[in-house]
Structure 1
Amino acid sequence: MGGVYRRAGDRRPVFCLPFANVLTVMASSPVAITLTHATLDELAACLPDIRQAPTDHGVVAMVVRRPAEGARDVLGEGMFSEDDGLAGDTWRQRRSRRSADGSPHPDMQVTLMGTRAIRAITPDESRWPLAGDQLIVDLDLTYANLPPGTRLQVGQAILQVTDQPHTGCDKFIARFGVDAMKWVNSPEGRALNLRGIYAKVVAPGAVRPGDTVRKLAI
């Protein structure tokens, strides 16, 4: 399940994430640890910060590969290509209900999620890879700023935003909570693309954390 840990009874606030929806689990020590998810009100409080994301020049915060179902590799460098998306990722093995023949969807090669949105959901960066997005970036991902067809220079690679909706699934609920799912799929959440966006690779190259993300002309 998703969330962040704190000792039971601790009420100290964390930026953009007060605690609610509490599930108490036991750590390896006899001290009880509390696993929590953010509420809709708590997530909404982070919207002003999310709206301040840079519109043209952003930064790559994390590159994540999915080498197998449920597995994650956080990379110091990822190689992106038109044929495979992120090298070593399982995109080519993932069947899609949105493809006529069920094959991997060419417009769903790569997903990008905003740093500020995932931080609102959980400030614990070790949990960010659980979202399943290959790129976590600090950039304005709104439809208004990045409509389908927009090209992004991400490190050495060039990606093109596609029109496929990124809405989350049951795994997202299990990891981050029902309210997080409602938040990203609310009318405002969809307009802001809080769950993220799909893209395809149009020019190959390496991408590293700290690289610039730059919006190009459509």
Structure 2
Amino acid sequence: MSKKRLFAIIVLSATFAATGARADVTHSPLDAANRGVAAQGDADEATIRRLLAQFRTIKIPLSQAVAIAEHLHDGSRTADVSFEISGPAIYRVRTVGNERLWENVIDANTGSVTEKALSSSLRDLDREDLGNIVALKSVEQELSDAVRIAEKAAAGSALAGGLMKQDGKLNFVVVIASGDRLEEVTLEPPRVGKQGSN
């Protein structure tokens, strides 16, 4: 999932301790992609306020939605997850395992699966998504670990996250609702077979 796509899903749809992972918190509203146009910025701010207002009312945290989706497909790992408010509040969770990618929709208030899972072969993915899925195999940590650390680092609750390449590096990027704004937390996970420092 690209950073732009991660932000678009959120805005438009209205322990690492011993491994050496690093967290970088960016303290800025999520409308940074559209700074040049004031009217667009105002619309984005209104969308973010609406998103945060609805997010504060849900009962299921993102980490629980991830666990639900992974339980649906034995041995799967979460590739990315996003909170959406285009209708009833949901989490869209993409998990991968056994050369398949599943997309499940989890109700953010009940934890129930609201739609039939979409399933596809990894061979059917576009180049960027396939690259991120292959990269997931090279990291030791799970997205759920990154979410836990990001929530602590930004003192908030996660509403989206995924593994992506940034400047040639693999990072977990987690979007956190903190107070009245969205913050991005970037974590560089250690790679399989490499020891990090504390």
The structure with the largest alpha-carbon Rg is 1
**Structure 1-normalised TM-score?**
0.23
**Structure 2-normalised TM-score?**
0.25
